[in-house]
């Protein structure tokens, strides 16, 4: 059993991005810029945006964070996005989700210029990804595929089971894994809350991506000997001493000995999502996708 080290892999990616940014600057090119919008006071969102800001600084990006009040109207928020769409110093824009209930997330996503949509949530990027055209791929699916590629894990012809059908993880990762070519060519099954015979389906999988957000859902008896398990879950739970601990969607201690590869939580997929956002922002600055 080998533990897939997302921390080490993301550090390597960050070093690559840092070197590339330094090279761009030495050639007199503009510094890549990422703008993040945070609406309201959700503590978890605040932590995520703070980390993204720190990552940007570490790799040498220009980072702009707009912290806007919970009471902002949808119209005012859309106006802020439109300003960033035309700001020449900004290559990538992200609006941290979730948003307050009175604001339509879909409207917000579709207001971001798709050429600056480094979260890969805009329907143009999602659609292009589905038909195999160059696009921004959202951070978590991109990070997962990158981990499989960097660990040289064979995917061609493998049975891959994706647990969860969210727009952010389940659907896009299932799509990427079924595409022709590198880290693709899998036979993919997407499972969800209405799936029957889940245990048998998981048992027949060579690769399982657990992304349903239920702590320790995937038990050892659902995993076959030698499977690759990618754990996307991250839930904060308190133990008997009221100490907070992060757990994934996999019952790690029991499942890990059966796996050929497994991602831990924390330190697996999580750090890769942060690295993927940096990779997408660099692509945006270099106009790699849309010219």
**Residue 95 vs 160, nearer CB to ligand GUN:** 95
**Residue 96 vs 155, nearer CB to ligand GUN:** 96
The verdict on whether 107 is a catalytic residue reads no
- DSSP lists the bridge partners of residue 237 as 245
Q: Decide: is 97 part of the binding site for ligand GUN (CB under 6 A).
A: yes
CB of 94 to ligand GUN, least distance (A): 4
Count of CA atoms in the C-beta half-sphere (13 A) of 267:
7
Q: Are the C-beta atoms of 267 and 6 separated by less than 8 Å?
A: yes
Q: Decide: is 94 part of the binding site for ligand GUN (CB under 6 A).
A: yes
**Residue 120 vs 205, nearer CB to ligand GUN:** 120
**Choosing from 14, 52, 251, 283, which is the catalytic residue?**
52
State the SS3 of 197-211. Answer: CHHHHHHCCCEEEEC
Site for ligand GUN, residues 150 to 179, rule: CB under 6 A: 168
Q: Decide: is 55 part of the binding site for ligand GUN (CB under 6 A).
A: no
For ligand GUN, how many residues bind (rule: CB under 6 A)?
Answer: 7
The enclosing H or E element of 49 equals: helix 43-59
Q: Which residues contact 283 (CB under 8 A, 6 or more apart)?
A: 118, 136, 289
Phi, psi of 273 (to 5 degrees): -65, -40
**Residue 166 vs 178, nearer CB to ligand GUN:** 166
Q: How far is CA 240 from the centre of its chain?
A: 31
The verdict on whether 106 is a catalytic residue reads no
Stretch in the footprint of ligand GUN (CB under 6 A) among 90-98, 129-137, 186-194, 225-233: 90-98
Asked whether the bond before 266 is cis by omega within 30 degrees of 0, the reply is yes
Stretch in the footprint of ligand GUN (CB under 6 A) among 21-29, 94-102, 171-179, 182-190: 94-102
**Residue 168 vs 205, nearer CB to ligand GUN:** 168
The C-alpha atoms of residue 36 and residue 28 are separated, in whole angstroms, by 25
How are beta strands 92-95 and 33-39 bridged, if at all? Answer: parallel
**Choosing from 5, 91, 119, 231, which is the catalytic residue?**
119
DSSP classification of residue 228: E
Q: Decide: is 272 part of the binding site for ligand GUN (CB under 6 A).
A: no
Residue nearest ligand GUN, CB atom distance: 97
Q: Decide: is 119 part of the binding site for ligand GUN (CB under 6 A).
A: yes
The verdict on whether 179 is a catalytic residue reads no
CB of 168 to ligand GUN, least distance (A): 6
The C-alpha atoms of residue 90 and residue 164 are separated, in whole angstroms, by 33
Q: Decide: is 139 part of the binding site for ligand GUN (CB under 6 A).
A: yes
> CA angle 44-48-54, nearest 5°?
145
Q: Among 180, 127, 139, which residue's Cα sits nearest to residue 52?
A: 139
The number of residues making up the chain comes to: 291
Q: Decide: is 146 part of the binding site for ligand GUN (CB under 6 A).
A: no
**Choosing from 5, 14, 91, 96, which is the catalytic residue?**
96
Interface ranges with ligand GUN (CB under 6 A): 94-97, 119, 139, 168
Q: Which residues are catalytic?
A: 52, 96, 119
């Amino acid at each position: 059993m080998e533990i897939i080290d997302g921390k080490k892999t993301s550090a390597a990616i960050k070093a690559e991005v840092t070197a590339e940014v330094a090279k761009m600057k030495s050639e007199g090119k503009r510094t890549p810029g990422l703008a993040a919008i945070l609406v309201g006071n959700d503590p978890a969102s605040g932590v995520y945006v703070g980390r993204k800001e720190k990552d940007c600084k570490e790799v040498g990006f220009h980072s702009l964070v707009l912290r806007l009040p919970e009471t902002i109207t949808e119209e005012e928020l859309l106006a802020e996005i439109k300003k960033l769409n035309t700001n020449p110093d900004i290559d990538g824009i992200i609006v941290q989700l979730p948003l307050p209930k009175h604001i339509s997330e879909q409207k917000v996503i579709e207001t971001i210029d798709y050429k600056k949509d480094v979260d890969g949530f805009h329907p143009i990027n999602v659609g292009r990804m589905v038909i195999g055209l160059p696009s921004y791929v959202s951070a978590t699916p991109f990070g997962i595929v990158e981990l499989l590629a960097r660990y040289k894990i064979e995917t061609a012809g493998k049975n891959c089971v994706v647990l969860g059908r969210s727009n952010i993880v389940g659907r896009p990762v299932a799509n990427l894994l079924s595409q022709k070519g590198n880290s693709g060519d899998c036979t993919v099954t997407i499972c969800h809350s209405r799936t029957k015979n889940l245990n048998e389906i998981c048992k027949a999988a060579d690769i399982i991506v657990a992304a349903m957000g239920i702590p320790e859902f995937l038990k050892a008896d659902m995993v076959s000997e030698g499977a690759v398990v990618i754990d996307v879950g991250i839930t904060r739970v308190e133990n008997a001493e009221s100490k907070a601990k992060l757990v994934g969607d996999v019952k790690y201690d029991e499942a890990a000995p059966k796996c050929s590869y497994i991602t831990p939580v924390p330190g697996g997929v999580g750090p890769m999502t942060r690295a993927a956002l940096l990779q997408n922002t660099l692509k945006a600055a270099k106009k790699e996708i849309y010219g």
